Amino acid sequence: MQYRTVQRNLEMSVLKITSLIIISSVLLHTQSADYLYFATLPHRATALTGSCVQIPCTFNISHFEDKLQKTTFIYGSWLKNISQFAHKDSFIAFNSSHNIVKGFSDIQMIGNLSEGNCTTVFNDIMKNHSDLYFFRLEMEPDVFKATFNTNHDYSIKSHKTVRINVTDSPQPPELTPNDLQEVMENTTVNVSCSAEAPCPKQPPKLSWSNIPKSAIITTQLQEKPDKTQSVFSQITFKPSYMDDRKNISCTVTYPRNTSNDTTVETTMMLQVLYPPKETHVIIEPSASVSFGTNVTLTCKSKASPSNDMNYTWYKHGQDSPLAGGKKISFTVSQNIEGLYFCTAENKHCKQSSADVQVAVKRQNGSYKLVIYGGIGVLALLLLSAVFFYCMRTKILGQGNVRGGDQAVDSNTDMAAIYSNTTLTITKKSEISEKKNNELHYGEIDFSKLQTDHMTKKENIKDPETEYAEVHVSER
């Protein structure tokens, strides 16, 4: 009996405690609901020195519309490093009530506080501006005053609000996908490039290089989940085998309020899978060889992948393949003449080369005639040149001895001396009259030159003859 009494009392005590906990929770929630507030800020924002950084900011307060009706003046502030507004070491970088800016050249709150928007732009930001920043809202007269934190756990300082990191060099753009090893030829490919845009009013400029000619480019400014912005560009193309192993680059240029802009770049290699292309045969030493010569045929082809290529050789007139492998060699004999070709194959497809002719060189009369004929013509030209040089030297020597006062009869005497030859001199043109001596250009035909004209020339003696200088054009 006593045991049952104790148990009943214990159950009643537990029931009372549970009821008190539930009632306390309801009262606490009702009381705190009137003061519920929070802000949405990015945990981190990266800025570039000499530029600006935009901090997207929104806030929510319980019964905000009712509070606005009681408010005559609303303004926001940004505190640096310390969130306690009344702290002795607190640093108020910006106060929108009188547009007070401290430690910065310019800060602008572009959001409408009456709509719960506290977005702010920090201009001309420098390295010493890197720190934690807290947003504070005040609604006068004494309607609402609070400093917002994204995390109310004060032991985690880095998560209280937004941290601004200022750097001299921006992060390189991000390429997606960053590895294109499985791109098949003539399939549609999309490659995107994104870069941070910490200052949307001065967005970075993005460009592509070494992309396929068929690529279509689209570029726009995008908002990320944390409300920060980035420049996003995408190229769409169908690669060909000529695009294999191209280094595609995405370059981003950031404008700054300094003498030089900042440029960063990211590069990736485009690898295209394709069947054999440009398959052809190389013959060594040549396509026309002599008996007993060793000949090597090599099958060349472009393909990707190329490490599993299979090569097969064929000869016209034979039903079965001749051999396998990239190269074949044989000794030239009469029965190897003919047309040859090869096929190259990988896992995607195969391709055949054009036919190549393997012929045996024959030593025949026509081949020797070409050699000898060429030597005969060369010898005739050399003999003619020597003969003409001797004649001209002798004529000039006699003219120097005779003197220059008998030039009137020179043409007559020359005709008499060479009357039995077929030497024909045709006047071509006259040189300018400003020259002292008239020079005649003519053409000499040696085709009918007699063998006895030199003898007749020696028997003619005329002391009155003078020899003029004649320039002869070459045949």
Q: Are 286 and 266 found together in one domain?
A: no
Residue 303 in any domain: the answer is yes
- For residue 397, the model assigns a pLDDT of 52
| pLDDT (tens digit per residue) in 200-216 | 988 999 999 999 988 99
pLDDT at 363 over 70: no
Domain boundary among 215, 249, 273: 273
251 shares its domain with 338: no
In a domain, 22, yes or no: no
What is the average pLDDT across 179-183? 72
The verdict on 140 and 56 lying in the same domain is yes
Of 106, 228, 225, residue with least CA distance to 162: 228
- Residue 404 confidence (pLDDT) above 60: no
Please compute Rg for the chain using Cα positions. Answer: 50
> What separation in angstroms does the CA of 151 have from each of 130, 144, 159, 313, 321?
20, 20, 6, 74, 76
**Mean pLDDT value of segment 172-179:** 85
Mean predicted confidence (pLDDT) in 345-362? 88
For residue 384, the model assigns a pLDDT of 53
Tell me: do 112 and 134 sit in the same domain.
yes
Q: 192 or 461, which is more confident?
A: 192
Max Cα distance, the chain (Å): 180
CATH number where 322 lies: 2.60.40.10
Q: How far is the CA of 95 from the CAs of 54, 74, 136, 139, 143, in angstroms?
A: 17, 11, 9, 13, 18
Mean of pLDDT values over 1-15: 54
- Local confidence band at 254 (pLDDT 50, 70, 90 cut-offs): very high
What is the structure's pLDDT at 359? 81
Higher-pLDDT residue of 17 and 239 is 239
Pairwise CA distance, residues 269 & 179, whole Å: 7
Instruction: Tell me if 134 sits within 8 A of 78, measured CB to CB.
Output: yes
- Answer whether residue 454 is part of any domain: yes
Pairing type for strands 162-167 and 44-48 reads: parallel
Question: Which of these ranges, 240-244, 326-330, 418-422, has the smallest mean pLDDT?
Answer: 418-422
Q: Which of 192, 262, 260, 198 is CA-nearest to residue 232?
A: 192
Same domain flag for 399 and 453: yes
User: What pLDDT is attached to residue 258?
Assistant: 73
Q: Decide if 438 is inside a domain.
A: yes
pLDDT at site 319? 85
Q: Is residue 132 part of a domain?
A: yes
Q: What is the DSSP letter of 404?
A: S
More confident site: 12 or 219: 219
Q: Would you say residue 446 has pLDDT above 80?
A: no
Q: Are residues 190 and 146 in the same domain?
A: no
Total number of domains constituting the chain: 4
Give the residue from 167, 199, 229 where a domain finishes: 167
Q: Which residue has the higher pLDDT, 324 or 437?
A: 324
Question: Is the pLDDT score of 450 beyond 80?
Answer: no
* Phi (first) and psi of residue 372, to 5 degrees: -65, -45
Q: Indicate if 225 and 241 belong to the same structural domain.
A: yes
Same domain assignment for residues 44 and 134: yes
The last residue of one of the domains, among 121, 149, 167, is 167
One domain for residues 268 and 295: no
Q: Is residue 234 one of the residues assigned to a domain? A: yes
96-110 confidence digits (pLDDT tens): 988 899 999 999 999
> Looking at the DSSP assignment, which residues form a beta bridge with residue 352?
343
Same structural domain, 191 and 160: no
Q: Given pLDDT bands bounded at 50, 70 and 90, which one contains residue 161?
A: confident
Query: Does residue 3 belong to any structural domain of this protein?
Result: no
User: Residue 448's pLDDT is what?
Assistant: 37
Looking at the domain assignment, is residue 372 inside a domain? no
Range of the structural domain that residue 339 is part of: 275-360
How far apart, in whole angstroms, are the C-alpha atoms of residue 80 and residue 165?
A: 13
Residue 83 has pLDDT above 60, yes or no: yes
Enclosing H/E stretch for 137? strand 131-140
* Mean pLDDT value of segment 238-267: 90
Supply the pLDDT for residue 429: 36
Look at residue 411 in the predicted model and tell me its pLDDT. 41
Pair 412, 353 in one domain: no
Could you report how far apart the first and last alpha carbons of the chain are, in Å? 150
Question: Are the beta carbons of 169 and 248 closer than 8 angstroms?
Answer: no
Mean of the pLDDT values across residues 15-23?
A: 50
Q: Which of 18-22, 295-299, 364-368, 408-412 has the lowest mean pLDDT?
A: 364-368
Quick one: 208 and 158 in the same domain? no
